[in-house]
Amino acid sequence: MSQAYDILIIGGGPGGYVTAIRAAQLGFKTAVVEREHLGGICLNWGCIPTKALLRSAEIFHQATHAKDYGLTLEGKMGFDIADIVKRSRGVSGQLNGGVGFLLKKNKVDVIWGEAKITKPGEVSVGKATKPAVQPQHPVPKGVLGEGTYTAKHIIVATGARPRALPGIEPDKKLIWTYFEAMVPDFMPKSLIVMGSGAIGIEFASFYRSLGAEVTVVEVMPQILPVEDADIAAVARKRFEKLGMKIMSSAKVTAVKKGANSVTATVVDEKGASVDITADRLISAVGVIGNIEGLGLEALGVKTDRGCIVTDGLGKTNVAGIYAIGDVAGPPMLAHKAEHEGVLTVEAIKGLHVHAMDKQKIPGCTYCHPQIASVGLTEAKAKDAGFTLKVGRFPFMGNGKAIALGEPDGLVKTIFDAKTGKLLGAHMVGAEVTELIQGFVVAMGLETTEEELMHTVFPHPTLSEMMHECVLDAYGRAIHI
């Protein structure tokens, strides 16, 4: 079988399928090659199903604190971990089917199998070496299969997988990655979470909310290392208040497996060694790009630290071959992949596009409390040589936050004192993953502090804290 396309995309995750739809809108004959499941990690094992899990944990937490709201719930609160997982997988399955519908609607061909670029402009698709799909995700009818396909432009969107540390490799039973942590066959009473980035903290928050004893081990002095120090400090205080044990400046040096438990040897910040035993250990030490088996090395495509090097508009050093999303390097976020793919096909079309400004890509962590940010942290802004105006506003000063029973949190803004340019915004607290986009839009429009100060924010809302935070940076806050 051989078919010719204008654009062929390897990988049907959020970057791949969004890119395919935009390419089709621009008039390109387009195909997507997928080996496992449409929607990629995000819809099937990441962004979406984890949020379903966290929603269940959030409701359970609220129910067990009903008295705080003047409510009485009869009987003992409980949960069924199998039903929680079932709901999460159902949400994933529903959206997975939606991706197939969208591709069909936009006349994008789906090719099922394992892709390899044999030469610029040619892709060989063989039988998938992984299981084709999860049981609830059947192979769509009418898709293409094994064969040779040609395309003027080939876009690699193969995503990433969990990184493994030597000697602490996941085994699917005692040492979990996010795959196993998302579909547990029992509720562990205790957990060690290795790594305090977004993935590690989200799972730590989920299991702690359901009652597990959780210990987080982070090698850096600060948990949530990419976040602003003030935000990370507020988050840590809140996590510890909820009963989570956190060890920063600490490292897991060895792991011993028992019959149904795991013991981690941890060297703490003082250099002392301590053994911690738990039912399971979650390894959340980052991800690495899926670059193997694609034929990139033979073609001379440049890679760096497990990712494909691009020029900012998806181009690699080999003509006709592009890369987007996680496989093209950090930040490894679904929305970055989607936007990057759109920019790439619009550039191929000849439209006037600008390379993505990674400082304007928001990051969100859906733990309890939530964390969201965009732009430079205060430390990075200082390192870049800016003179700063920094504003802070606590959730405790906001009427809506108090009414919600969510008084713990902080909003922080960072401005260039010389120009009034918004350099960064950082938040921790209830619903901040929804609030952050206000600052993202402001940065995209190059809004100044004066424009933000003269914007009317509705009352009573959490968004008022964004306004107060800007006012505080210039000594004009009203409610603190």
pLDDT tens digit sequence for 311-364:
989 999 999 999 999 999 999 999 999 999 999 999 999 999 999 999 999 999
Q: What percent of the chain has pLDDT over 70?
A: 97
- 3-class DSSP assignment, residue 445: coil
Question: Are 110 and 36 a contacting pair, CB within 8 Å?
Answer: no
Residue 8 Ramachandran class (φ > 0 left, ψ -120 to 50 alpha, else beta): beta
**Which tokens go with 288?**
């690495």
What is the per-residue pLDDT for 280? 98
What number does CATH give the domain 2-47+84-161+288-358?
3.50.50.60
Q: Which residues pair with 154 in a beta bridge?
A: 8, 321
Residue 61 is among the residues annotated as catalytic for this protein: no
- Identical topology for domains 175-285 and 369-473: no
pTM score: 0.93
- 300 pLDDT exceeds 90? yes
Among candidate residues 37, 65, 352, 459, the one labeled active-site is 459
Among the listed residues 71, 5, 16, the one whose alpha carbon sits nearest the alpha carbon of residue 290: 16
The mean of the pLDDT values for the chain is: 94
CATH architecture of 369-473: 2-Layer Sandwich (3.30)
Residue 356's φ and ψ, nearest 5 degrees, are -65, 135
- 3-class DSSP assignment, residue 420: coil
Distance (Å, whole) CA 373 – CA 436: 7
CATH of 175-285, one of 3.20.10.10, 1.10.760.10, 3.40.50.10320, 3.50.50.60: 3.50.50.60
Residue 414's φ and ψ, nearest 5 degrees, are -130, 120
Distance (Å, whole) CA 121 – CA 203: 42
- 308 pLDDT exceeds 90? yes
Q: Where are the domains of the chain?
A: 2-47+84-161+288-358, 175-285, 369-473
**Which tokens go with 58?**
């959030």
pLDDT band at 76 (very low <50, low <70, confident <90, very high): confident
Question: Are 83 and 114 a contacting pair, CB within 8 Å?
Answer: no
